[in-house]
Amino acid sequence: MRGHRFHLSRRGLILGAAAGLLGAPALAEGDAHDDAPRPAPRPKAPRKIAPAPAAAPISHGDPAVGLAPEDAMARLMGGNARYVADKATHLHLDPEYRRIVAGGQRPFATILACADSRVAPELIFDQGLGDLFVVRVAGNVVDDAILASIEYSVIHLGSTLVMALGHERCGAVKATIDALAGHGSEEDRDTKIGALAALIAPAVQAVPTNAPDRLDAAVSLNAAQAAAEIFAGSKPLRSRVLAGKLKIVAARYDLDDGRVSPAKREG
């Protein structure tokens, strides 16, 4: 990506939004859309009832359509709260729901996550089929292909929230720190791994020299950089953010306790 300096200058704006939204109280069980009361069934008419269609009403509500960004954040963080408390409800995994989303997808949020096998967005946010549009790449970095995928999820599928999600003890960030310090792995020679390091390097170089945990500080700054790249690199997404129709936030996942929290502004 070009213009790293220009992109990084927007980190404060995006992290400010993340801090405000992620600081909101998490939902304890379900969400406003899943727990909405169902109308009482009408009495059967004195005639033969036609068989129900294959896509019958489902147990966990219909796919989210047009959620406000704040509601999308509340739904996402409510799911993480359930996951952390070991009260996951495993929404939208039943056969009836699978048949419904087979006809089209309307994910309410887009997650740019690391490809790390321990970071599975559908699990850590307690969501199911059709709920999240997930883009994964080592180091949760942004290039043109990643940005195009995110744009597609917002413009064509209706996502109203984009989260760049870093995670504790990220191997890609650690490898970049080592490479910049002159301790790169010989096994990486003749691979394309350096392309990842080049995208992560600005975050590592921005870590304050007095940071108590250089790796963790770089993880947060790398997620913030990714969020800033998404905002600055896409005019359609930027326009939606400025119009209040989309939120782009940066967050950090804790491998030990499973909690998602705002990416820190500083080391």
Q: How confident is the model at residue 90, as a pLDDT?
A: 87
Q: Please state which of the ranges 41-50, 68-77, 167-176 shows the lowest mean pLDDT.
A: 41-50
Q: What share of the chain is helix, strand, coil (3-state, %, to 5)?
A: 40, 10, 50
Q: How confident is the model at residue 191, as a pLDDT?
A: 95
CATH number where 167 lies: 3.40.1050.10
Mean predicted confidence (pLDDT) in 177-186: 94
Asked if residue 118 is part of any domain, the answer here is yes
Q: How confident is the model at residue 264, as a pLDDT?
A: 75
Mean predicted confidence (pLDDT) in 204-233: 96
Q: Provide the residue range defining the domain that includes 91.
A: 4-25+63-262
Phi, psi of 185 (to 5 degrees): -80, 135
Asked if residue 111 is part of any domain, the answer here is yes
Burial of residue 256 (number of CB atoms within 10 Å: 0-12, 13-18, 19+):
exposed
pLDDT at position 109 over 50:
yes
Mean predicted confidence (pLDDT) in 77-104: 94
Asked if residue 159 is part of any domain, the answer here is yes
pLDDT at position 228 over 70:
yes
Mean predicted confidence (pLDDT) in 129-140: 97
DSSP letter (8 states) at residue 259? -
Computed over every residue of the chain, the mean pLDDT equals 82
Mean predicted confidence (pLDDT) in 89-106: 92
Mean predicted confidence (pLDDT) in 248-256: 98
* pTM of the predicted model over 0.85: no
Residues 119-132: tens digit of each pLDDT: 999 999 999 999 99
Asked if residue 30 is part of any domain, the answer here is no
- The whole-angstrom separation of Cα 181 and Cα 201 is 11
Taking each continuous run of H as one helix and of E as one strand, the counts in the chain are 10, 5
Tell me how crowded residue 89 is: count the other CB atoms within 10 A of its CB: 17
| Contact by Cβ (8 Å): 260, 223 | no
Considering its fold, how many domains does the chain have in total? 1
pLDDT at position 186 over 50:
yes
Element (H, E) at 251: strand 247-253
pLDDT at position 10 over 50:
no
Asked if residue 50 is part of any domain, the answer here is no
Asked if residue 17 is part of any domain, the answer here is yes
Asked if residue 35 is part of any domain, the answer here is no
Mean predicted confidence (pLDDT) in 176-183: 95
Asked if residue 37 is part of any domain, the answer here is no
Tell me how crowded residue 139 is: count the other CB atoms within 10 A of its CB: 26
The gap from C-alpha 190 to its chain's centroid, in whole angstroms, comes to 32
Residues 14-58: tens digit of each pLDDT: 444 434 434 433 333 333 334 444 445 444 444 433 333 333 333
Of 158, 164, 166, the closest CA to residue 246 belongs to 158
**How much of the chain exceeds pLDDT 70, in percent?**
75
